[in-house]
Amino acid sequence: MGNEPTVSTKKRIKIILFAAILCLLALVGRLGYLQIIAASDLREKAEAQWVRSIPVESKRGTIYDRKMKELAVSASVETVIARPKEITDPEKVALQLAPILDMTEEKILETITKNKSEVYVKRRVEKETADQIRELELKGIHFTEETKRYYPHNTLASQLLGFVGTDQAWSGIELQYDKYLTGYAGKIVRETDTRGKALPFSEETYYEPQEGLNAVLTVDSMMQHILENGITRAMEEHNTTSCTAIAMNPKTGEILAVGSKPDYDPNDYASYDEKYWKNKAISDIYEPGSTFKSIVMATAVEEHAAEKTTSFYDPGYTVVAKQKISCWKSGGHGTQNLEEILQNSCNPGFVALGNMIGKETLNQYIRAFGFGQKTGVDFPGEASGMLYSDSQLGPVEFATQCFGQGISCTPLQMINAFCAVINGGNLMQPYLVKELVDDDGNVVRSTEPKVVRQVISEETSATMRDMLFKVVDKGTGSRAKIEGYKVGGKTGTSEKYRDGKYVASFIGFAPVDNPQIALLVILDEPKEYSYTGGVVAGPVFQAIMSEMLNYLQMGPSEGGSANIAEIQDVPDVTGLSMEEAVAILQNKGFKTELEGEGNFVINQSPKPTVELQTGSKVTLYLGTETSDGEATVSVPNVKGKTIKEAGEWLESIGLKIEISGSGKAVSQEPEAGAKVAVGTTVKVIFASE
């Protein structure tokens, strides 16, 4: 009996047993939590300790013009990476890398001794540079692939395209569509020890990046080239501060070309002042001046505020609230009808017309035409413009607004409203990207023309087209006439707040009976004896529009001037012998220019069926026809050429180009003089000087 446990002992045993069970349950619960609930998180933390990854940049999508011509492309380049834990002699490594990477030893040493698993030594180096480093077989120095953005046409459409910096898009289409163009990065994964050194038998795993989508613009690169050449000439001729132009399809809202000068080269954006990065046609505002009278006149016609026979008398001025508002013509225009005040761009006439419409009604139409609000174009940094508030719009302010002063808008707002005047009355939403496509050509997203609202009737629009034609045919826009075509338009001159500084503009369209192109040209502060839109901007419009119509193969308008050279289709002479091709072209009245070697035509410019005036030049690119009927060409020497120059030269003779690096061409494969089949890709390496 003496060995039996006492009651107190039994209680202690039960307590200990209960405590043990609780501990066991706690351990089981904790184990379950770690194995089930927290497993994913713990696994990620563990992998972070023994797995290292190097990001692999995705290839950015290409930006094409509407005819699939490349405007922005990406090429693969290499980036030098260091793993500091693997470098045993950092001073020696820095000494060897410095001259190759064009960096100081101190900078490299500071980088490769950081307490990190991986560090960038230098990003986006040329292949030749990377190969030089590989030959050194430096322990701890590795490479990853990145992409570098190239703009093969340099300054062409630069303010529209924008650019991509080291790690992000900064402006333009590149920024607006960045999330679509970028794609998704891949990575290189490897196993390491606790100090970050690679395990002896571990293998690297490569996760392929997903390439970005490609953007197809509404812009036509040839029309863009025509527009930019035109405003460049205008800037030089009139010594302007800047020159801006924008061309649209008035029926769809597609922007066909847009730009301003001065501009910049996105391949070397850092060398330019940031003010040149802006697309002034979308981001800057100006006073439209008399081009705005087309909006006031359309409102008057739609509201039947005046008839064609309504009489307006202009003594050279009008008085509003005791303030004298002068006409541009000394002595005035005398008695005029409705059409004539538009043809003569008569300020007093439009003040009277505005009063006939009424302040409230006119302001409703101004807003309906899209002024004072963003158009919604797919481009960053669009400005809204400025309108008077109802409380600010006194009698004088309303009077000056009737002829386009005191109101501010973007060039895009002005041309978009003008398109509504001439296209049947529909205000369209302008746009710049037609489609987003993948590399297989599948359309992922497309943009269709969108009518924002109908502002005026088709009947009013037809009346306005006829009235605007008479402005060019008989009125202040006569310098915008184009032989063989019916052109409509309106001049514009506005005075800036600085004395003696003006903005000259011209807005117009062609052909009158079936508008295909609307074009606005703005010259800021022309420093000539004349600064009016008709004298200064009209001829710039005429030069640009005539080239665009010719490029689009638009035939002469019925009722247009007949004094034009004969126009013919360019015949297709590809595949013929040089002698046959030259004979055919000369019989058609065309001149010929020969490029390349051989006696067989492999390409021609312009392409077949393009309409040209007789006497124009057709360039023939020559090659050699082999016994099996295949065409071969001699590879030209592109060394010393820029990416644009090399690409255009190779493309012209039927060869493709593979770009590596940037700057000027330093080597090529195949070498110059080699005979290759048409369609062969020439690998060209570019390097900075």
- How far lies 1's CA from each of 6, 12, 433, 482, in Å? 10, 20, 100, 130
Residue 148 — φ and ψ, nearest 5°? -120, 135
What is the rounded distance in angstroms from the CA atom of residue 507 to the CA atom of residue 294?
10
Residue 63 — φ and ψ, nearest 5°? -105, 125
What is the rounded distance in angstroms from the CA atom of residue 262 to the CA atom of residue 234?
12
What is the rounded distance in angstroms from the CA atom of residue 97 to the CA atom of residue 88?
15
Give the pair of three-digit tokens for residue 128. 């030749």
Locate the DSSP E strands across 400-559.
426-428, 433-437, 443-446, 451-454, 488-495, 502-510, 517-524
- Angle of CA points 425, 431, 436, to nearest 5°: 140
Give the catalytic positions in this structure.
290
| Cβ neighbours of residue 8 closer than 8 Å, sequence gap 6 or more | none
Q: Are 144 and 58 in contact (CB under 8 A)?
A: no
What is the rounded distance in angstroms from the CA atom of residue 297 to the CA atom of residue 305?
10
Q: Are 555 and 595 in contact (CB under 8 A)?
A: no
Q: Give me the DSSP letters along 485-510.
A: S--EEEEEEEE-SSTT-EEEEEEEEE
* Cα 392–chain centre separation: 38
Which of 680-684's residues contact partners 24+ apart within 8 Å by CB, and which partners? 680/635, 680/655, 680/656, 681/655, 681/656, 681/657, 682/635, 682/638, 682/650, 682/655, 682/656, 682/657, 682/658, 683/658, 684/638, 684/646, 684/657, 684/658, 684/659, 684/660
Three-class SS of 259-310: EEECCCCHHHHHHCCHHHHCCHHHHCCECCHHHHHHHHHHHHHHCCCCCCCC
DSSP letter at 479 equals G
Q: Are 359 and 305 in contact (CB under 8 A)?
A: no
- Angle of CA points 283, 456, 418, to nearest 5°: 30
What is the rounded distance in angstroms from the CA atom of residue 446 to the CA atom of residue 671?
42
Give the pair of three-digit tokens for residue 40. 């994913």
What is the rounded distance in angstroms from the CA atom of residue 515 to the CA atom of residue 325?
35
First to last CA, the chain: 106
| Cβ neighbours of residue 642 closer than 8 Å, sequence gap 6 or more | 154, 663, 664, 665
Which residues face 504 on adjacent strands?
493, 523
Instruction: State the greatest distance between any 2 C-alpha atoms of the chain, in Å, as a whole number.
Output: 141
| Cβ neighbours of residue 222 closer than 8 Å, sequence gap 6 or more | 551
**Does residue 515 have a cis bond before it (omega within 30 degrees)?**
no
What is the rounded distance in angstroms from the CA atom of residue 36 to the CA atom of residue 176?
44
Give the position of tokens 């072209």: 585
What is the rounded distance in angstroms from the CA atom of residue 385 to the CA atom of residue 274?
22
